[in-house]
Structure 1
Amino acid sequence: MFNKYLEDYEVGERWISNSRTITEADLVMFSAFSGDWFPLHTDKEYAANTIYKQRIAHGMLILSVSTGLLHFEKGVVVAFYGMERVRFVKPTFIGDTIHLETEVIDILEKDEKTGIITIKVDIKKQTGATVAVNQMKMLINKRP
């Protein structure tokens, strides 16, 4: 997605990522890394007695995995600039396979060398259901 210089993007441009399956190991490793051991993510018996009836992936895990599904071209991308309007709209379960559907919604020149690309991100699972949404901003180089 982020493999072109600022001038090469157009508002309305769309892109679909590869997919990735969320595993139990992902939940355990994310819990260890983040320190978030909330039982909805880590306790099978606790989660069985919730509205979800099973463990769900951490929302922040899903956002983290989603960044790994994007393509960042060295020399084009300057930095991650931010994320807005983040919502977790449906649960992601162990065994769900997620992918991204994106659309460029804004292109803003920042200075003589860079600009900001804003994309709408829908994180979807294999059923077609959207599990999370956000607007991601990336600082991108202009053509040298």
Structure 2
Amino acid sequence: MKSLFLEDYEIGVARTSFGRTITEADIVLHAGQTGDFYPHHMDAEWCKTQDFKQRIAHGTLIFSVAVGQTAGEINPEAFSYGYDRLRFIKPVFIGDTIKARCTIKEKRDHPKKTDYGFVVELVESINQRAETVLVAEHLLLVKRKPAHA
């Protein structure tokens, strides 16, 4: 575990995950976990009558995969504060392979805790055609370097 303090984060630094192919099993398991059995995800025949002509993955599934893809290293000086501005830009289909790109977008002070600040990471999920399918902002609450350091 490498400690990164607020001062260690640099705007514009990015990392990209390995790809992960979305399978029918992923969609079925996610439907069972969430109770979201809408036909857009589960009914192949009905989907043939719709704009996309095939089943689409749940947006929440793709969000979960993207979050997992960005969670590579543990930083004991930071923790997730939540996500803002989550958008599902394009559909993800069975067989699509997605990667997550995470870019440091912003750093700002915490309004009350002077020994902490926020790091905002732009999380983008990108398919094999280089199309952005999901975007979100991940907020990290990060400890400042100790005064004596």
TM-score by length of 2: 0.86
* Percent identity between the two aligned chains: 38
Pair 1:24-2:5 in alignment: no
How far the C-alpha of 1:33 sits from its partner, in A, is 0.5
Within 5 Å, give how 1:47-62 maps onto structure 2.
47-62=47-62
In the TM superposition, structure 1's runs of 4+ consecutive aligned residues that sit over 4 Å from their partners are none
How far the C-alpha of 1:49 sits from its partner, in A, is 1.2
Whole-angstrom distance in 2 between the partners of 1:125 and 1:3: 31
Bigger radius of gyration: 2
Alignment match, 1:134: 136
Whole-angstrom distance in 2 between the partners of 1:74 and 1:14: 16
> What is the identity, as a one-letter code, of the residue corresponding to 2:119?
I
**Which runs of 5 or more residues in structure 1 are unaligned?**
none
How far the C-alpha of 1:140 sits from its partner, in A, is 2.3
Further displaced range: 87-96 or 102-111: 102-111
3-state DSSP class of the match of 1:69?
A: helix
How far the C-alpha of 1:67 sits from its partner, in A, is 0.7
CA pair 42-85 structure 1, distance change in 2 beyond 3 A: same
**Which runs of 5 or more residues in structure 2 are unaligned?**
none
CA pair 10-140 structure 1, distance change in 2 beyond 3 A: same
Q: 2:126 aligns with which of 93, 111, 124?
A: 124
Larger fraction in strand? 1
How far the C-alpha of 1:86 sits from its partner, in A, is 1.6
TM-score by length of 1: 0.89
CA pair 4-17 structure 1, distance change in 2 beyond 3 A: farther
Alignment match, 1:99: 99
CA pair 119-3 structure 1, distance change in 2 beyond 3 A: farther
